[in-house]
């Protein structure tokens, strides 16, 4: 397997397809690099080098007890970029991966980065607080934790219903897509899965977003049942100077799969600008 090793000896698995300007994909919770294969095959076929890693604690990467937090996720991404000596990189992050991209820019800047894309991303802050009244109450995330601890296999069988909008009239979500979600989720380490809930829900990315100084595309479905658009992309688009917001009417959280052709088209157009 292709891996890099971080400073705390965690092995990060990555897949590296194609040649050309590098595009790095950061996946959502509790998935892996496999969640990006529709985009990777498409963009690699159009002349780009597509790289997607399994976040620590997820997929085929190591499952360390410590370091399952957004700062370390971002530093792992920095290690990958530096060890592969990538420049002029396009960063694309979905959901939790969008937080990883934001924290990377907040901690490491944009010297090696050309553009960024946030898709259904968690920034600036998912949690409802006094200063973020549009967020979700902590009870929502406590409920996720409780469900994962009680029976995570069943939870990962149930979650795709909301994730892909299968509970909406006329939705077409295959059993295969649901099974793929479950398989990726069950590859992840139990500790990493639990810790990541806190990372994606309680991390405040406000100051990170203010450091974006590159062209940024923000994509979000307005029927996202996992990361509601109001406290996420609508807010982020106002914080990132010069960003472009594309709202997909009626689209769910997992729109990179359910609307992959439209997402791929929009990504290619933005990358070519």
Residues in contact with 58: Cβ distance below 8 Å, sequence separation at least 6, in sequence order: 27, 29, 30, 31, 32, 187, 188, 189, 192, 193, 196
Q: What is the 3-state secondary structure (H, E, C) of 67-99?
A: CCCHHHHHHHHHHHHHHCCCCCEEEEEECHHHH
Model pLDDT, residue 37: 97
Q: Is the pTM of this model over 0.75?
A: yes
* Average pLDDT for runs of 10 along the chain of length 273: 96 98 98 98 98 98 98 98 98 98 98 98 97 95 98 98 97 97 98 98 98 98 97 97 97 98 98 96
Question: Is 73:198 a contact under the CB 8 Å cutoff?
Answer: no
DSSP three-state, residue 246: strand
Three-class SS state of 217: strand
Tokens standing for residue 26 = 């950061």
Domains of the chain: 3-272 (3.40.50.1820)
Confidence (pLDDT) at 7: 96
CA distance 161 to 178: 8
Q: Which two tokens stand for residue 230?
A: 């109001």
Report d(CA 201, CA 199) in Å as an integer.
Answer: 6
pLDDT value for 268: 98
Q: What is the pLDDT of residue 1?
A: 81
pLDDT given at position 187: 98
> Which backbone phi and psi does 132 adopt, to 5 degrees?
-135, 65
Catalytic positions are 95, 224, 253
The three-point CA angle 17-252-240 to 5° equals: 70
Give, rounded to a whole angstrom, the gap between the first and last alpha carbons of the chain.
34
pLDDT at 192: 98
Between CA 227 and CA 136 the distance in angstroms is 9
């Amino acid at each position: 397997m292709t891996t890099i090793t971080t400073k705390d000896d965690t092995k990060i698995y990555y897949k590296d397809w194609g040649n050309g300007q590098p595009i790095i994909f950061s996946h959502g919770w509790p998935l892996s690099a496999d969640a990006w294969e529709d985009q990777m095959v498409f963009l690699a076929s159009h002349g780009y080098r597509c790289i997607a890693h399994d976040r620590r604690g997820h997929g085929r990467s190591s499952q360390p007890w410590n370091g399952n937090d957004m700062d370390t996720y971002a530093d792992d991404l920095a290690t990958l970029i530096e060890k592969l000596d990538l420049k002029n990189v396009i960063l694309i992050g979905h959901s939790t991966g969008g937080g990883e991209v934001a924290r990377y820019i907040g901690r490491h800047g944009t010297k090696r980065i050309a553009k960024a894309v946030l898709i259904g991303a968690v920034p600036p802050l998912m949690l409802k607080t006094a200063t973020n009244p549009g967020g979700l109450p902590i009870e929502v995330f406590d409920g996720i934790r409780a469900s994962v601890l009680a029976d995570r296999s069943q939870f990962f069988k149930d979650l795709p219903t909301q994730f892909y909008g299968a509970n909406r009239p006329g939705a077409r979500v295959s059993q295969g897509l649901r099974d793929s979600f479950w398989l990726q989720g069950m590859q992840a380490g139990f500790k990493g899965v639990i810790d990541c809930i806190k990372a994606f829900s309680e991390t405040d990315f406000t100051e990170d977003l203010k450091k974006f100084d590159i062209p940024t595309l923000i994509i979000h479905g307005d029927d996202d049942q996992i990361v509601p658009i109001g406290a996420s992309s609508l807010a982020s688009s106002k914080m990132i100077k010069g960003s472009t917001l594309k709202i997909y009417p009626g689209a769910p959280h997992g729109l990179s799969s359910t609307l992959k052709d439209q997402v791929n088209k929009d990504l290619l157009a933005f990358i070519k600008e």
